[in-house]
A and B are shown apart, each in its own frame.
Chain A
Amino acid sequence: MQYSESRTRNLRWLTYASIGLFVISFWMIFFYVGPEQTQGEVQRVFYTHLGAFFGSFVLFVTALIAGIQYLRTRHEKWDDLGLSAIEIGLVFSLINIVTGAIWARPIWNTWWTWDPRLTTVAIMWLSYAAYLMLRAGIEDPNRRRRFAAVYSILAFSSVFLTIVIIRVRPDTIHPVVAGPTSTSEGIEGEFAMSDRITTTLLFTIFTYVVISITLLWHRIRLENRGKLIQSRKMKLLLNA
């Protein structure tokens, strides 16, 4: 892709904006919002937890769309998009899992439990990690792109499962915050949200979505730079 001055400027502004949003959301989490009534200070980790989940969710949906688009159009840019989205999505997903474990230790008295929600998230992470293994294992670049696209579609089934599992198995102890559930009165650990909590939560989710898009852009840029260097090297070698 051609280097463009205006695009670089836009990306720079977006990066500044994400840093600003991140600082504000941290301030909101630690100073603006008070400790939660029953869970106390540890509940503050929950904003990052949910924010990171939404970040990874946006990225994995992007990877799914990129996979479908690649198989339809066979344009390399969709493959770059899918790879970038999954790499960053894995990091966000890991933040999601680690913050969840930090929260669970005082609340559930264990770092990890084989609750349906936790199990499906673990499957999701492993599926996308396997995607990177698949890419590393196949040499022919065309075939690698095609298989990666197919596998990113297959792996999305785990994201879907993570979202629907609590409808199939309502016995999860994981609190259901986003979206209504049919059996919300029976779920432990559900908390009513005050205005400040809701504001902080929505702001953090917004922040993480913006950060994920910024990082995605940077990652694609990096991929393009790398390809440019490769092609220049080739040109140099051919001329020499």
Chain B
Amino acid sequence: MSATTTTSETTTTIEPQKRRLRTPYFQVVASLAWKDLRAEARGRELVNAMLLFSVMAVLIFSFALELDRQAQEATVGGVLWVTIAFAGTLGLGRSLAAEKDKGSLDALLLAPVERSALFYGKMIGNFLFTLAVGFLLVFLLTVLFNVNLFRPVLWLIIVLGCLGFATTGTLVSSMSVHARAREMLLPILLLPVILPIIISATRASTALLTELKIEDWLPWIQLLCVVDFVFLLAGFFLFDFIVEE
């Protein structure tokens, strides 16, 4: 929303007395996300670790919970979201720590662009990586748990859940990256804040997979949308305060 309006403003009102031209908001977001994707395509250190971790987590789950058919349908939603949350936390820890350690975070902050655009740029990168884990799990759980996860509504839940997770995660990991024991602090800070997302996504997935009525899972999806929206707004307002130096 705000991205499009800012773009049109900056492109239409080019006045001669305006000395510093800002890069359009949307372009900042897109180029930052594109940078993350390209770096990932070359190095593949984040996604590989996340995917491998989630494969192992699912194997442990499927080994530990050797269940009958009905119980599998009831637990697969939980397994899906617990794995996404832990694998996602793993990725988030690296994503901003790499920026900070290489000093590129400072360079990004020096650039004359909106700070919130940097936030959304990083968020999109994290979102796509988490989403990759989510969709890998769809295949993996279908095979290992013998429950059909190829349902468009479930995919919608995964997209919404990963969006909320990446938004909150980017916000919280940009704080924890400055802490002394950041690898330890990130899950402690992140998990309580993302629990509303994880709970509503898990409840919605489980209700969907156990063939409950629409009234049983729709409220959870609605709650998920509200929480996503709130955290997207919170990122817009709060990221400035986190990164200012």
**Which residue numbers of A lie inside 8 Å of B, CB to CB?**
71, 119-120, 123, 126-127, 129-130, 133-134, 137-140, 143, 146-147, 149-151, 153-155, 157-158, 161, 168-169
Known contacts A150-B238, A150-B242, A168-B219; A126/B175 CB under 8 A: no
Supply 12 A–B pairs (Cβ within 8 Å), ascending by A. A123-B192, A126-B192, A127-B192, A130-B189, A130-B191, A134-B176, A134-B189, A138-B179, A153-B234, A153-B238, A158-B196, A161-B196
Report how far A86 CA is from B109 CA in the complex, Å: 31
Q: Which residues of the partner chain A approach B222 to less than 8 Å between Cβ atoms? A: 168
Contact A147 B175 (CB under 8 A): yes
Q: Binary interface profile of B, 203-227, with partner A (CB < 8 Å = 1, else 0)? A: 0000000000000000100110001
**6 interchain residue pairs of minimum CB distance:** A137-B179, A126-B192, A127-B192, A123-B195, A147-B175, A137-B185
Interface residues in B145-204 by Cβ distance below 8 A to A read 168, 171-172, 175-176, 178-182, 185, 188-189, 191-193, 195-196, 199
Is B63 in the interface zone, CB < 8 Å from A?
no
Interface residues of chain A: helix, strand, loop or mixed (majority): helix
Question: Do the beta carbons of A154 and B234 come within 8 Å of each other?
Answer: yes
> Which residues of chain A are within 8 angstroms of B192 by Cβ–Cβ distance?
123, 126-127, 129-130, 155, 158
B241: chain A residues within 8 A (beta carbon) = 71, 146, 149-150
Contact for A168 among B168, B176, B181, B223, CB less than 8 A: B223
**Which residues of the other chain, B, contact A169 by a CB distance below 8 angstroms?**
219
Contacts of B143 in A (CB 8 A): none
What distance in Å separates the Cβ of A90 from its nearest Cβ neighbour in chain B?
13
Q: How far is the CA of A123 from the CA of B176 in the complex (A)?
A: 19
Establish whether residues B189 and A123, one from each chain, have CB atoms under 8 Å apart when the complex forms.
no
CA distance A154 to B179 in the complex (A): 18
Tell me if B230 is interfacial: C-beta within 8 Å of chain A.
Answer: yes
> With A157-B196, A161-B196 given, can you name 16 additional A-B contacts, CB distance below 8 Å?
A120-B196, A123-B195, A127-B192, A127-B193, A130-B188, A130-B192, A134-B175, A134-B176, A137-B176, A137-B182, A138-B178, A138-B180, A155-B192, A155-B193, A157-B231, A168-B223
